[in-house]
């Protein structure tokens, strides 16, 4: 089996790692890896390769980094290189580029008896049809879902609409962040991907149900601002959902403060939303639309993430001060 892999972040790299490990004994080959171009990263904003590119190069795999697969000369060259790799199947995990039907039609296919042919497989971090789209892990936490999972699906031109091949669920921990949950889902995705490829002759494609479809829109930086009029439980979920990106934040006077960890408190605070009702080593308690939110780990702009005790040592706050509901 000749497999071309397309993916970009750590989530995808774990699927590629599982493929590389399985290929050694299964007789598979990976003639080409597609990933997004190097991006500025770190304090110096120097160009850095994606996690998938780093892993592929470490194993001596050929890598292509097209800016598009849909139109333009770059897309045409990328499609030609993909065709030259003569793949049986294209495996996609969090690639970040839209794949047109012309690309999905290039692989030979794993099941000649299927119509359409099984030419491309996607590793998606949700239990489809819930949370199709770019940010399924963060949106599941933000919505308060008790569980999520991974779906291995047959790709088609629609956005995560293809038939399902395998799926497995995971419970979402009560304190789990997007970063933490993504690691667990990535491990699950790699295992399910290898399982699907090993058992391809017995796979049965199941159409996604029409009911229950939701869309996980990309997380925008503007969403990071905490709206203190919301219930504390909703704000606590946002803090977890936006870790590690874009990180929940608020503003006290002219100072922007990032909130990395917070707990919802059930007691009613006799104060307007956003008002600090207590501040001490255990955290900064803030009145919300319902209940109150205890800020436990915080960070000032340019500073380090600190527990409340250390944060207050360098930036004391007072009861009755009020956080703003958004940017200045």
Is the Cβ–Cβ distance between 205 and 161 less than 8 Å? no
Is 239 within a domain?
yes
Mark whether 109 and 77 lie in a shared domain.
yes
CATH at residue 39: 3.40.50.170
| pLDDT 10s digits, 104-144 | 999 999 988 888 899 999 999 999 999 999 999 999 999 99
| pLDDT 10s digits, 260-309 | 999 998 777 689 999 999 999 999 999 999 999 999 999 998 899 999 99
Structural domain for 180, as ranges:
2-216
Polymer length of the chain: 328
Number of domains in the chain: 2
List, in order, residues 6 or more apart from 220 with CB less than 8 Å away. 246
Please give the pLDDT value at position 269.
66
Which helix or strand (DSSP H or E) is residue 74 part of?
A: helix 73-84
| pLDDT 10s digits, 214-225 | 999 999 999 999
> Of 101, 33, 34, which is closest to residue 66 (Cα–Cα)?
34
Which of 181, 216, 251 terminates a domain? The answer is 216
Mark whether 280 and 147 lie in a shared domain.
no
Mark whether 107 and 236 lie in a shared domain.
no
Is a pLDDT exceeding 80 seen at residue 162?
yes
CATH at residue 249: 3.10.25.10
Is a pLDDT exceeding 90 seen at residue 210?
no
DSSP characters over 91-106: EEES--S---HHHHTS
> Of 186, 158, 184, 183, which is closest to residue 171 (Cα–Cα)?
184
Mark whether 36 and 172 lie in a shared domain.
yes
Mark whether 12 and 156 lie in a shared domain.
yes
Question: What six digits make up the tokens of 45?
Answer: 């904003």
Which of 216, 245, 273 terminates a domain? The answer is 216
What average pLDDT score do residues 157-185 get?
96
Please give the pLDDT value at position 157.
83
Mark whether 138 and 195 lie in a shared domain.
yes
Give the separation between CA 109 and CA 255, rounded to whole angstroms: 56
């Amino acid at each position: 089996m000749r497999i071309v892999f397309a993916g970009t972040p750590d989530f995808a790299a774990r699927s590629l790692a599982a493929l590389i490990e399985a290929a050694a004994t299964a007789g598979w080959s990976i003639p080409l890896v597609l990933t997004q171009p190097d991006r500025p990263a770190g304090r110096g904003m120097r160009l850095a390769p994606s996690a998938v590119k780093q892993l592929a190069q470490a194993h001596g795999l050929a890598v292509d980094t097209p800016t598009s697969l849909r139109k333009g000369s770059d897309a045409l060259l990328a499609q030609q290189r993909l065709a030259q790799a003569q793949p049986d199947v294209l495996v996609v995990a969090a690639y970040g580029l839209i794949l047109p039907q012309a690309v999905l039609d290039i692989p030979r296919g794993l099941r000649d008896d299927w119509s359409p042919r099984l030419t491309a497989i996607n590793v998606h971090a949700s239990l489809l049809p819930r949370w199709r789209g770019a940010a399924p892990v963060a949106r599941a936490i933000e919505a308060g879902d008790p569980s999520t999972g991974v779906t291995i699906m047959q790709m088609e031109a629609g956005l995560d609409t293809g038939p399902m091949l395998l799926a497995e669920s995971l419970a979402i921990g009560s304190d789990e962040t997007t970063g933490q949950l993504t690691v667990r889902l990535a491990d699950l995705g790699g295992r399910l991907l290898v399982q699907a490829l090993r058992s391809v002759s017995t796979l049965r494609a199941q159409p996604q149900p029409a009911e229950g479809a939701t869309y996980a829109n990309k997380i925008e930086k503007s969403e990071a601002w905490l709206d203190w009029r919301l219930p504390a439980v909703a704000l606590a979920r946002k803090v977890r959902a936006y870790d590690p990106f874009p990180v929940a934040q608020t503003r006290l006077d002219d100072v922007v403060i990032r909130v990395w960890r917070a707990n919802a408190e059930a007691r009613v605070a006799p104060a307007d939303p956003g008002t600090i009702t207590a501040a001490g080593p255990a955290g900064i308690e803030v009145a919300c639309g319902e209940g109150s939110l205890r800020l436990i780990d915080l960070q000032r702009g340019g500073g380090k993430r600190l527990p409340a005790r250390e944060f207050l040592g360098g930036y004391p706050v007072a009861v009755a001060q009020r956080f703003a509901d958004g940017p200045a």
